[in-house]
Structure 1
Amino acid sequence: MTRLLAALLVLLTACAPLVQVAQPDERATLTRAGLSVTLTNPGPDALTGDPSRAGDGVALTVQGVGLVPDAQAAQWCRAATSTSWACTLPDLPVGTSRRVTFTAGTLLDAAAFGYRPSLGARPVLIWLQ
């Protein structure tokens, strides 16, 4: 499932502008600072994993070359391919953020996939800014 999600997020990267048009009210951001990506949730409600799967979290896919996760990222992420990491982040309540940091390598791109209780089964896609 995680590999399928990783492949889907990589495939959809080229469609990022169209996805943002399809969800104009989405305010969550995914930003990069060096070898870190930060997912920030200003609201309007929590950003969660798939509500139909107990214990699921927000999916984050990170692409890069030679990436080495720090201790915290190693708890959330695993190498999906030689150039892609699949991370499952804890839910993000309103006003919180999660940072995933790598200590070495070249970070190329990232995308997050989650749900908001107010949107029901409609997923939310967040692209690296």
Structure 2
Amino acid sequence: MRLEAFISAGPVIQAHLIAALTALAIGLTLYLLPKGRLPHRTLGIACATCLTVAAGTAMFITRANPGWWSVIHVFVPLTFAGLFGIVMAIRHRRWAYHRHAARGLIFGALLIPGLFALLPGRLLNV
């Protein structure tokens, strides 16, 4: 993406992109760090917050299909459902499910939609 396109994209798209890229960076860091300690918990909360912002702002981005959501918006409820599942797994101490759901969320909420965003005609396509 060109810097001019990012600057002229508007605050919702800017917030969405910053939140998504931050969540991706934190998510990949979480994958590499030791699990269960304070840094993991703190970064997990930060990642969940960024994912919430990214999914929330995505609902207001209708650039590809003015006035309506597009196919990529199917990832919004999936992201919220995944975040809910991860939190419930933590509360019920189901660590294996938490690990599996967190990996799936990073893949399904960030990597797949990110690849869709790189398609021709999209803002991120260079």
For normalisation by structure 1, the TM-score amounts to 0.31
Larger radius of gyration: 2
More helix by share: 2
Q: Which TM-score applies when normalising by structure 2? A: 0.31
